[in-house]
Amino acid sequence: MNTFDKVLYLMKTRGPQTAQQVAAMLGLTSMGARRQLEAAEEKGLAAHADVADKAGRPSRRWSLTAAGNARFPDRHSDLTVNMIQQVRSVFGEAGLERLIAAREVAIEAHYKQEVDEAHELAGRVAALAHARGEEGYMADTEVRGDGSVLLIENHCPICAAATECQNFCRSELEIFQRVMGEGCSVERAEHLLSGARRCVYVIKPV
């Protein structure tokens, strides 16, 4: 991955960044980072906003545009949406629900195999994040002080399908709950389709 792509990836996974933050994380000079960000803006992949800090002058924060986000594609989006529309047209909502249920069975079996190799909550969530990461979700975890663990997904490779049929999102939340087991709860705290930058799930012991 070249430096330009690393800058885009950083904004995708970390959200809005200053040139100084980009420089520190990628080992660049502030000027070098700024040039990369300005090049991304010239290509229509990034935009900046000056944000007032508590003290001092406003800081310039850079984030991806819709075109920048499109560099991390929704896999086979047009074909997937067309297939969903055809299933709905031919078999109705009940047929689409059967399709989603069949998908659940296969995905749940795979995730369960991965997760059951770990015992502690953090390890189980990390295993789930690894499985999701292999599917293109750019998944990561964060352990919080209250004992809960965040499953963070910085990208949704099935966003077009989920937009067309939000039962895919409902289905995934239910899969996570079953895979993690009765000893914990799974709640969606941030949702890409609700306007958030990413999807975040809070997983905690009960």
Residue 79: predicted pLDDT: 57
Q: Are residues 24 and 58 in the same domain?
A: yes
Residue 178: predicted pLDDT: 94
Residue 147: predicted pLDDT: 92
Burial class (CB in 10 A: 0-12, 13-18, 19+), 194: exposed
> Does the pLDDT of residue 159 top 60, yes or no?
yes
CA distances from residue 133 to 79, 85, 95, 104, 139 in whole angstroms, order as listed = 22, 27, 29, 18, 5
DSSP three-state, residue 174: helix
Query: Which among 69, 86, 117 is the end of a domain?
Result: 69
Read off the CATH number of the domain in which 104 is found.
3.30.1380
Q: Are residues 117 and 169 in the same domain?
A: yes
Q: Are residues 197 and 142 in the same domain?
A: yes
Q: Are residues 166 and 113 in the same domain?
A: yes
What domain range is 97 assigned to? Answer: 77-205
Query: Which among 69, 91, 109 is the end of a domain?
Result: 69
> Predicted confidence band at 29 (pLDDT cuts at 50, 70, 90)?
very high
- Which of 151, 157, 140, 155 lies closest to 8, judged by CA? 155
Query: For the chain, what is the domain count?
Result: 2
> Does the pLDDT of residue 176 top 90, yes or no?
yes
Read off the CATH number of the domain in which 57 is found.
1.10.10.10
Q: Are residues 156 and 197 in the same domain?
A: yes
Q: Are residues 62 and 14 in the same domain?
A: yes
pTM of the model: 0.71
CA distances from residue 95 to 72, 102, 148 in whole angstroms, order as listed = 30, 11, 37
- Which of 171, 168, 140, 134 lies closest to 154, judged by CA? 140
Q: List the structure tokens of 99.
A: 């399709």
Residue 156: predicted pLDDT: 85
Query: Which among 34, 53, 69 is the end of a domain?
Result: 69
Q: Are residues 45 and 96 in the same domain?
A: no
Q: Are residues 48 and 142 in the same domain?
A: no
Mark out the alpha helices in the chain (DSSP H runs): 3-14, 19-26, 30-42, 66-69, 77-115, 121-134, 159-164, 167-180
Q: Are residues 57 and 96 in the same domain?
A: no
